[in-house]
Structure 1
Amino acid sequence: MIPSAVLVHVPDVEKGLEWYKKAFPEAVPIYHSDIDFTVLDLNGFSIEIVQADEKVGAGKSGSVIYWYVGNLSAALAHFEALGAYLYRGPMEIESGLSMCQVEDPFGNLIGLRGKAT
């Protein structure tokens, strides 16, 4: 099995999509007109910004996807400049890497993992 997508639940899809486009500038927006839905394609992996509802709300409640970054400090500064804030860490882990979590403006967590240079 290979991961293919992450669904990020937000209270306002339009605002969420605009924020995530800035947060992941290398992702390519792909519009699916048949279902009126835009996904952000990141090297074949889809970041899908979807409407939070009564079954799955926005916010932190368990699973966190970690993104590998070449420079953890620079990545953290990038997300903070967009309005995310440091939620947990940074903390040292294996092989000279560090990790942290940031909280997006919608209450969701984004994990970052990489060299703490």
Structure 2
Amino acid sequence: MESMMKPAALLIHVRDWEAGFIWYRKAFPNAIVVEFPEFEFRALRIDDFMIEILRSDEKVASGKAGTVMYWSVQDLVEGVSHFRNLGAELYRGPIEIENGLGMCQFVDPFGNLIGIRGPLNKALKHDI
């Protein structure tokens, strides 16, 4: 069973669905918008992976709750700049990890955590 499992979708809960969708569309500009008119729903597709922005409710609130999805970036400094320019707040890191990589976490404007990891140019680390 494990060999058949791979990530399929990430559900991100936000209070304001339209604002959340617009923000995540900017955060992942290469994602393709997928419309599901029968469900009055849109999602973002990256290859065969879906980012689904949902309205938070009494069962699932938005915010930091312990699970963080990390996205691979080609350059950590550029990734930090990208998310900061969108209004995300640096929450944790950046820290150096294995094989010359670094990682950090951001809080999106809706209170959720987003992680990025990628090559960490030590000479530029002070710019983060």
Q: State the TM bucket, normalised to the shorter chain.
A: over 0.9
Q: State how far apart, in whole Å, the 2-side matches of 1:67 and 1:52 are.
A: 22
Q: Does 1:99 align with 2:76?
A: no
Q: State how far apart, in whole Å, the 2-side matches of 1:92 and 1:27 are.
A: 28
Name which of 82, 85, 100 aligns with 2:86: 82
Name which of 2, 11, 16 aligns with 2:6: 2
Deviation at 1:55, TM superposition (A): 1.1
Q: Percent of aligned positions with the same letter in both sequences?
A: 53
Matches within 5 A, 1:1-117: 1-117=5-121
Q: State how far apart, in whole Å, the 2-side matches of 1:43 and 1:85 are.
A: 27
The structure richer in helix per residue is 2
Where 1:100 maps in the other structure, the secondary structure is strand
User: Once superposed, what is the RMSD of the aligned Cα atoms?
Assistant: 0.6
Q: State how far apart, in whole Å, the 1-side matches of 2:76 and 2:21 are.
A: 23
Q: Which amino acid aligns with 1:64?
A: V
Where 2:80 maps in the other structure, the secondary structure is helix
Deviation at 1:44, TM superposition (A): 1.1
Q: Which amino acid aligns with 1:71?
A: D
Deviations 1:67-108 (A, max 9, x none): 000001101101100100100000011111000001100000
What is the TM-score of this pair, normalised by structure 1? 0.98
Deviation at 1:18, TM superposition (A): 0.3
Where 1:70 maps in the other structure, the secondary structure is coil
Deviation at 1:43, TM superposition (A): 1.1
Structure 1 unpaired stretches of 5+: none
Q: Which has the larger radius of gyration?
A: 2
Q: State how far apart, in whole Å, the 2-side matches of 1:116 and 1:41 are.
A: 27
Q: After TM superposition, what 4+ stretches of structure 1 lie above 3 angstroms from structure 2? A: none
